[in-house]
């Protein structure tokens, strides 16, 4: 989605803002722009990549030490320079950048047009610029008051940064529903929608809460509510470092993050697994352990990859904790009038912690009396701040749009949560300790899978030209089949469907034609024989079998060509998704690169979907 970076301080703003924009590129966007105040307000915008804007700015630099910059992912109006941010008013030199959507922008626009304002774009953001300008009164609080007053009139979601030619030493930021972080430096501040645009300059930050406005000058800040009541924000240390958001020896973030998984999962487990005692320590859940143990239903929700992880979570909660569990897309749950009985625990799964549908479903369930829990990666994100309890993934910043290390982090947290609950219900110390021992060995097992990278690349090269693929699995590996298909389609633009392996004979088998790749997850688990039957059904109709199988399985190579088999170490079925997904991540990444796509910036996609 859109990205915000703004600066006020003593340095030249343009290079700093440009660096911030580059760090925000991964979020997905279609145009970019920058405004800087020096002697006057200067602005440049461009359609396409940040590099296009950079070229323009190299030819005609913007000078000044206060500025705002933005990457836009179109919601209102087409992808044009006129619709790109920043937007300006038509009177006093207000410039604004905005993430989110203003729902009542049409009525506000009519009101402003009646007052003589002339609009040049189709965006809701320009309406906000005009409204701030209309309400601006230098003698009565200036920009800060105008922003507070304007936002009291607005319905919808926003994170904004605003400057005004009339107040060249002031930057005003505000938020409702879209994240905004303020980095506190030495006589300088950086405001951004994402910590990655801040961390190179300072690690001291505070988040704005919903309905808060922050007025910044070079050496001071003041945070207030929309009613101008001062609030004191909590300054905290950012827990990411620069290395984590840089490519290092890798060509793409996606590949880097796939290879990071052994280490990221070690961090997810660190200090949480006490194998000798057969217990799991989850600090963020401890206070609510009784609610979890006595839950009558666990309802898990998320979108995309997070939904697929939640589906594994559903199986784990039923299997290990013996609590009825259900998974539902957040976008459906939020509008479906769900029955939330007494004793419902809602688990919201999200890498970013900002996905609009997941946040809304969580709030809906909370209103209806559910105890809420977050399984989130980004510390301090909206979902993390809105839940009663939670477990952070600790996998570090995920920059690749295709989620990889967050997925395995989510699976690991789900497994720990199921053990945490199961141990307090029916699971013996011994059974818990056994599964924990396996969890502890997962990073090393993934290292072994990653050694097959070259052969997985060869498989990708053999089939990358095929336009239709199937991904099939059963039980715990049905969600992995969904995830394998999602990975392939989002970065390689190949049509892929993931489904329960037994489902093919109810229709999809009609699709099988000569050489169609069908990826089976065929690890040694309770449904292995059934998967073999499904493999034969596809193979006998001309499908080409690619399989994920358990080391030492001699049967599988009777059904699939040995060079088309990816091997995983032996692991118990409930934990197998942690391993089976890894070759599928590599397969998708290679297929996309072979087809010539930028895997970190797939078309039309945004890293974090903060709009409906």
331 near ligand M6R, judged by CB under 6 A: no
328 near ligand M6R, judged by CB under 6 A: no
Name which of residues 395 to 414 contact ligand M6R (CB under 6 A). 401-403
Residue 43 CB, nearest approach to ligand M6R (Å): 31
The smaller minimum CB distance to ligand M6R, of residues 42 and 355, is found at: 355
Structure tokens at 240: 């990411």
Query: Residues 364, 369, 371, 377: what is their CA dihedral angle, to the nearest 10 degrees?
Result: 10
Distance of alpha carbon 318 from alpha carbon 597, whole angstroms: 40
Residue with tokens 């963020």: 284
Residue 443 CB, nearest approach to ligand M6R (Å): 21
Contact 585, 487 (CB under 8 A): yes
352 near ligand M6R, judged by CB under 6 A: yes
**Any bridge partners for residue 390, and if so which?**
374
31 near ligand M6R, judged by CB under 6 A: no
Q: Are strands 468-473 and 517-522 parallel, antiparallel or unpaired?
A: parallel
Residue 320 CB, nearest approach to ligand M6R (Å): 23
Query: Residues 117, 120, 124, 125: what is their CA dihedral angle, to the nearest 10 degrees?
Result: -90
With vertex at residue 447, the alpha carbon angle to CA 574 and CA 400, rounded to the nearest 5 degrees, is 85
Which of 212, 261, 350, 387 forms a contact with ligand M6R (CB under 6 A)? Answer: 350
261 near ligand M6R, judged by CB under 6 A: no
The one segment of 38-46, 134-142, 245-253, 302-310 that binds ligand M6R by CB under 6 A: 302-310
Strands (E) located in 420-505: 468-473, 495-500
Residue 350 CB, nearest approach to ligand M6R (Å): 3
**Any bridge partners for residue 99, and if so which?**
159
Side-chain-side CA neighbours of 25 within 13 Å: the count stands at: 21
Is 589 a residue of the active site? no
Task: Give kind and range of the element (H or E) at residue 204.
Answer: strand 204-207
State whether residue 251 is helix, strand or coil: coil
Residue 605 CB, nearest approach to ligand M6R (Å): 6
Torsion sign over Cα 512, 515, 520, 524 = positive
The one segment of 250-258, 351-359, 420-428, 460-468 that binds ligand M6R by CB under 6 A: 351-359
Residue 494 CB, nearest approach to ligand M6R (Å): 15
Contact 248, 404 (CB under 8 A): no
Distance of alpha carbon 213 from alpha carbon 230, whole angstroms: 9
306 near ligand M6R, judged by CB under 6 A: yes
Binding mask 469-498 for ligand M6R (x = CB under 6 A): -----------------x---x--------
Residue 214 CB, nearest approach to ligand M6R (Å): 25
The one segment of 12-20, 47-55, 144-152, 347-355 that binds ligand M6R by CB under 6 A: 347-355
Which of 145, 351, 382, 523 forms a contact with ligand M6R (CB under 6 A)? Answer: 351
86: preceding bond cis by omega (within 30 degrees)? yes
368: number of Cβ within 10 Å: 14
Which of 71, 244, 303, 421 forms a contact with ligand M6R (CB under 6 A)? Answer: 303
Binding mask 576-605 for ligand M6R (x = CB under 6 A): -----------------------------x
Query: Residues 243, 245, 248, 253: what is their CA dihedral angle, to the nearest 10 degrees?
Result: 150
The smaller minimum CB distance to ligand M6R, of residues 172 and 346, is found at: 346
The one segment of 60-68, 290-298, 352-360, 472-480 that binds ligand M6R by CB under 6 A: 352-360
Contact 382, 177 (CB under 8 A): yes
609 near ligand M6R, judged by CB under 6 A: yes
358 near ligand M6R, judged by CB under 6 A: yes
434: number of Cβ within 10 Å: 14
Which of 149, 193, 608, 610 forms a contact with ligand M6R (CB under 6 A)? Answer: 608
Structure tokens at 264: 């990221």
Is 601 a residue of the active site? no
The smaller minimum CB distance to ligand M6R, of residues 198 and 609, is found at: 609
Residue 407 CB, nearest approach to ligand M6R (Å): 8
123 near ligand M6R, judged by CB under 6 A: no
Residue 509 carries which DSSP code?
Answer: G
Structure tokens at 520: 């089976």
Residue 328 CB, nearest approach to ligand M6R (Å): 14
Distance of alpha carbon 482 from alpha carbon 544, whole angstroms: 19
Residues that bind ligand M6R (CB under 6 A): 302-306, 350-352, 355, 358, 401-403, 486, 490, 605, 608-609
Active-site residue set: 2, 607
């Amino acid at each position: 989605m859109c990205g915000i970076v703004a600066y006020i301080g003593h340095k030249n703003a343009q290079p700093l803002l440009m660096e911030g924009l580059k760090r925000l590129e991964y979020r997905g966007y279609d145009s970019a722009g920058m405004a800087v105040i020096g002697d006057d307000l200067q602005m440049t915008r461009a359609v396409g990549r940040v590099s296009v804007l950079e070229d323009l700015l190299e030819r005609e630099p913007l000078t000044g030490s206060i500025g705002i910059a933005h990457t836009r992912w179109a919601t209102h109006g087409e992808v044009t320079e006129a619709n790109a941010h920043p937007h300006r008013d038509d009177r006093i030199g207000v410039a604004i950048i905005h993430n989110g959507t203003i729902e009542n922008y049409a009525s506000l626009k009519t009101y402003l047009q009646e007052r003589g304002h002339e609009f040049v774009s189709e965006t809701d953001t320009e309406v906000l610029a005009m409204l701030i300008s209309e309400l601006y009164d230098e003698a009565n609080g200036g920009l800060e008051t105008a922003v507070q007053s304007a936002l009291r009139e607005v319905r919808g979601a926003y994170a904004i940064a605003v400057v005004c030619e009339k107040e060249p030493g002031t930057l005003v930021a505000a938020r409702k529903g879209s994240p905004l972080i303020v980095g506190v430096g030495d006589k300088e501040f950086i405001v951004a929608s994402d910590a990655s645009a801040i961390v190179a300059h300072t690690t001291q930050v505070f988040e704005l809460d919903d309905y808060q406005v922050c007025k910044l000058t070079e050496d001071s800040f003041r945070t207030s509510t929309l009613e101008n009541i001062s609030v004191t924000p909590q300054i905290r240390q950012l827990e990411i470092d620069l290395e984590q958001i840089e490519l290092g020896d890798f060509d793409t973030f996606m590949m880097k993050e796939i290879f990071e998984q052994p280490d990221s999962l070690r961090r997810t487990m660190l200090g949480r697994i006490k194998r000798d005692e057969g217990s799991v320590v989850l600090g963020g859940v401890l206070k609510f352990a009784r609610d979890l143990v006595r839950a009558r239903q666990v309802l898990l929700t998320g979108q995309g990859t997070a939904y697929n992880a939640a589906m594994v979570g559903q199986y784990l909660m039923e299997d290990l904790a013996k609590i009825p569990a259900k998974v539902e897309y957040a976008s459906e749950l939020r509008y479906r009038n769900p029955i939330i009985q007494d004793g419902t625990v809602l688990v919201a799964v999200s890498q970013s912690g900002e996905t609009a549908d997941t946040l809304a479903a969580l709030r809906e369930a909370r209103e209806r009396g559910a105890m809420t829990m977050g399984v989130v990666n980004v510390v301090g994100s909206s979902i993390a701040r809105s839940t009663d309890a939670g477990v952070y993934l600790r996998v570090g910043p995920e920059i690749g749009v295709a989620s990889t290390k967050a997925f395995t982090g989510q699976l690991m947290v789900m497994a720990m949560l199921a053990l945490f609950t199961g141990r307090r219900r029916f699971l013996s110390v011994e059974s818990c300790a056994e599964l924990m021992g396996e969890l502890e060995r997962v990073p090393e097992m993934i290292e072994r899978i990653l050694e097959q990278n070259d052969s997985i690349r060869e498989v990708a090269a053999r089939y990358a030209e095929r336009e239709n693929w199937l991904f099939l699995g059963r039980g715990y590996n049905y969600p992995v089949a969904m995830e394998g298909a999602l990975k392939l389609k989002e970065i390689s633009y190949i049509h892929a469907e993931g489904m329960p392996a037994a489902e093919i004979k109810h229709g999809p088998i009609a699709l099988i034609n000569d050489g169609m790749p069908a990826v089976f997850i065929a690890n040694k688990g309770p449904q292995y024989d059934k998967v073999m039957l499904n493999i034969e059904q596809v193979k006998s109709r001309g499908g080409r079998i690619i399989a994920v199988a358990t080391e030492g399985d001699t049967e599988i190579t009777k059904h699939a060509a040995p060079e088309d088999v990816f091997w995983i170490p032996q692991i118990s079925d409930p934990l197998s998704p942690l391993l089976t997904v890894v070759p599928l991540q590599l397969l998708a990444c290679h297929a996309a690169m072979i087809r010539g796509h930028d895997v970190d910036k797939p078309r039309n996609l945004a890293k974090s979907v903060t709009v409906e």
